A and B are shown apart, each in its own frame.
Chain A
Amino acid sequence: MSNEYYPRPAIIKDIIDETVNTKTYFLKYFDEKVQKDFMWHPGQFLMLSVFGVGESAISISSVDKNNYINATIRDVGNVTNKIFEFKKGDSIGMRGAYGAGWPLEKMIDKDVLIIGGGMGIAPLRGVIHYIQKNRLKYKQLEIIYGAKTPDDLIFKYEFDKWKKIKNSTLHLTADELTTIPSFECQEGLVTSCFPRMKTHHRNAIALLCGPEIMMRYAAKCLETIGYKDDQIYLSLERRMKCGIGNCGHCQIGLKYVCKDGPVFNYSDIKPFIQPL
């Protein structure tokens, strides 16, 4: 009988600094068999354990060609605080992947609009990589990515690659242009890019992830330009203790964010998204 609560040891193969308080960890299960059995879908998340401190739900920001699981983490709480003290070669407890990811099947032969806010681009990065690899399946790709300042944007080293994807557009925004960035970046919120959008709502799916307030407004703006509720998908954040629907914390309406989400169709959860 397998115990889902049982974290398995994983090794930190590498660490990249993204911003002052964000790092990407490259993880691999210690046990070859567990690593081989690891299946994931863009949008899913992991439960990372630091023994003695606790567990946290962290989204998978991609799995690279070495089969290292990328987890992009911002230092905001007890567990992430401790993870930041870890170095290359240290071991960490890991279980997953859990949850339902982005609707890659439903997006086939459609335009894809990706809207990420701050750390919200992390779970979307897997989709970008997937589209890059399966370019012919999808039509126009448009990425709108914003953060508080240009320095807070993560995955800067990949922006050029994203731009080079065929038939794609990348808009970068910052709430405040505190520094002059080396890349093209506009001052304003993500919604300020909407007038210049190339994708058309008639045959598009929008994927949103970011702070809930940003998603609420972005979804509203998308509605005004013609998107229907069922064309919009959001990835939600909730407090999670177990990741497998057994602790109750992440309920939203008739759904569990961990089991039925974190990616939801907007029409399913619209009445439950409230201002923070």
Chain B
Amino acid sequence: MKGFILEKKDLKSLLEIFLTKYKVYGPVRSGYDSTFEEIKSIDQLHLDYISTVLPPKKFFLPPKEKLFSFEIQDGKFTIEESKFHEKSLIFGIHPCDIHAILKLDKFFLEDYKDIYYESRRKNTVLVAFNCVEPDEYSFCYKMGTGPYMEKGYDILLTDIGTKYLIEIGTDIGQHLIDKLNLEKATKHDFDEKERRFILTEKKFKKHMNTTWLSKIAQENLDHEVWRDLGEHGGVAGSFPCLSCGSCTFVCPTCYCNDIYDKMDLNLKSGTRNRELDSCQLLEYGEVALGGNFRRDRKDRIKHWMLCKFGAAAGGKNSSCVGCGRCIRVCPSKIDLTEVAKILRGD
């Protein structure tokens, strides 16, 4: 095992190295919550954050972006593509969110490559933080996506008391810390990391048994839990779904997007844009002549949950990572883990 030790007071010098090379984003306190924002100095950083409102997918698949602009002249059109060159670094990202990005990679970088996602992903360095204090709604340890992680990071930090244990995932990561001449980590440091991991695992409050879950969900398309969720009194103390789409917006693996054109006032030029869409909204499955393939609310909430359980097309790459954001933001208090329990008959 190879690792380095960074004294907590030296975190500033690490951040300074990052700041000279990259635009750095990190967790910042905002009201009672945390968000990922641009960081200019260590004072802004809020590394003890539990979970951010929006996941870091916003850096790779922005809520709204321009795909290209076009110009129409005498019935002919020309297209100008958008380009991105910004090199950035995300500091303090948690394991569940890294796993979500790995899932998005599979989705956007296989078959047809999405060049917008690809260029952002290539130009971004991920500096991860292992979780020591889980969120009250998270259940990542059941999904194999936390609280600690093995892959997907460039640099990984673990809080082991007065020091951080640094592990390196890529050459880019190694190159970044070379200058600091850090002390090598000992077996004792790794043992301490392991000890804290076991302590953290005990702190989780939510659980989800995923054994056969995707198969069970696929075979129970007419289970009464869907009707209860969509139209009747809710499930396990929740209210019925309001189809507000909050869960899809905060989900780190939800990628569904809408593509639309916007004309400039001169009616000669305009842009084609992409915006996050939600399968919970009525218009999502609408087709010409008023047809709608998911008109009922229960069909929409069912579709989303199937996706998260890995039982829908998108779900192959956008299944749940157990971050718990959807449970926290749901105005109806719908809990994914409770639905899974009912489906499984636990």
Taking CB atoms, residues of chain B closer than 8 Å to A225 are: none
- Could you tell me the distance between the alpha carbons of A153 and B327 in the complex, rounded to whole angstroms? 51
**Is A247 in contact with chain B by the CB < 8 A criterion?**
yes
Additional 13 contacts, C-beta under 8 A, given A52-B72, A254-B315, A271-B221: A2-B115, A6-B79, A51-B272, A52-B267, A91-B75, A242-B257, A247-B277, A249-B256, A249-B258, A251-B314, A253-B313, A255-B313, A276-B291
Nearest-CB residue, chain B, relative to A8: B79
Residues of A81-123 contacting chain B, CB below 8 A:
90-91, 93
Nearest-CB residue, chain B, relative to A7: B79
Q: Per-position contact with A for B296-320: 1 when CB-CB < 8 Å, else 0?
A: 0001000100010001111110000
**Is B1 in contact with chain A by the CB < 8 A criterion?**
no
Taking CB atoms, residues of chain A closer than 8 Å to B346 are: none
**Is B49 in contact with chain A by the CB < 8 A criterion?**
no
Q: Say which one of B105-113, B143-151, B156-164, B231-239 lies at the interface with A.
A: B105-113
Chain A interfacial residues counted at CB < 8 A: 43
Name the residue in B75, B260, B315 with the highest tally of chain A Cβ atoms < 10 Å from its Cβ.
B75
Chain B interfacial residues counted at CB < 8 A: 50
Taking CB atoms, residues of chain A closer than 8 Å to B258 are: 241, 247, 249
Q: Would A247 and B257 count as touching, CB distance under 8 A? A: yes
Residues of B238-279 contacting chain A, CB below 8 A:
255-261, 263, 267, 270, 272, 277, 279
**Is A238 in contact with chain B by the CB < 8 A criterion?**
yes
Nearest-CB residue, chain A, relative to B289: A76
Taking CB atoms, residues of chain A closer than 8 Å to B285 are: 238-239, 249
Candidates B72, B115, B286, B311; contact of A254 at CB < 8 Å: B311
Candidates A212, A244, A254; contact of B316 at CB < 8 Å: A254
Residue pairs across A and B with Cβ atoms less than 8 A apart, 29 shown, are A1-B115, A5-B67, A5-B68, A9-B76, A51-B261, A51-B272, A52-B72, A52-B261, A52-B270, A55-B259, A237-B287, A241-B257, A241-B277, A242-B259, A246-B107, A246-B108, A246-B257, A247-B257, A247-B277, A248-B255, A249-B284, A251-B313, A253-B312, A253-B313, A254-B312, A255-B313, A274-B293, A276-B291, A276-B292
**Is B123 in contact with chain A by the CB < 8 A criterion?**
no
**Is B77 in contact with chain A by the CB < 8 A criterion?**
yes
Taking CB atoms, residues of chain B closer than 8 Å to A239 are: 284-287, 293
Taking CB atoms, residues of chain A closer than 8 Å to B257 are: 241-242, 246-248
Q: Would B277 and A1 count as touching, CB distance under 8 A? A: no
Q: Would A54 and B261 count as touching, CB distance under 8 A? A: yes
Nearest-CB residue, chain B, relative to A54: B261
- Could you tell me the distance between the alpha carbons of A248 and B303 in the complex, rounded to whole angstroms? 11
Taking CB atoms, residues of chain B closer than 8 Å to A91 are: 75-77
Q: Would B279 and A6 count as touching, CB distance under 8 A? A: no
Q: Which chain A residues have a beta carbon within 8 Å of chain B's beta carbons?
A: 1-7, 9, 51-55, 76-77, 80, 90-91, 93, 212, 237-239, 241-242, 244-249, 251-256, 259-260, 271-272, 274, 276
List the count of A-B residue pairs having beta carbons below 8 Å apart: 114
Q: Would B263 and A52 count as touching, CB distance under 8 A? A: yes
**Is B81 in contact with chain A by the CB < 8 A criterion?**
yes
Candidates A77, A237, A246; contact of B112 at CB < 8 Å: A246
- Could you tell me the distance between the alpha carbons of A276 and B67 in the complex, rounded to whole angstroms? 33
- Could you tell me the distance between the alpha carbons of A91 and B78 in the complex, rounded to whole angstroms? 11
Q: Would A1 and B113 count as touching, CB distance under 8 A? A: yes
Nearest-CB residue, chain A, relative to B311: A254
Nearest-CB residue, chain B, relative to A93: B77
Q: Would B314 and A248 count as touching, CB distance under 8 A? A: yes
Taking CB atoms, residues of chain B closer than 8 Å to A237 are: 287, 291
Candidates B81, B108, B311; contact of A6 at CB < 8 Å: B81
A273 CB to nearest B CB, Å: 10
Name the residue in B111, B256, B261 with the highest tally of chain A Cβ atoms < 10 Å from its Cβ.
B261
Q: Would A90 and B286 count as touching, CB distance under 8 A? A: no
Q: Would A77 and B288 count as touching, CB distance under 8 A? A: yes
Nearest-CB residue, chain A, relative to B310: A254
A177 CB to nearest B CB, Å: 23
Q: Would B303 and A53 count as touching, CB distance under 8 A? A: no
**Is B114 in contact with chain A by the CB < 8 A criterion?**
yes
Name the residue in B111, B218, B287, B314 with the highest tally of chain A Cβ atoms < 10 Å from its Cβ.
B287
Nearest-CB residue, chain B, relative to A5: B67
- Could you tell me the distance between the alpha carbons of A7 and B78 in the complex, rounded to whole angstroms? 10
Q: Would B259 and A241 count as touching, CB distance under 8 A? A: yes
Q: Would B77 and A9 count as touching, CB distance under 8 A? A: yes
Taking CB atoms, residues of chain B closer than 8 Å to A244 are: 111-112
Taking CB atoms, residues of chain B closer than 8 Å to A76 are: 288-289
- Could you tell me the distance between the alpha carbons of A1 and B255 in the complex, rounded to whole angstroms? 22
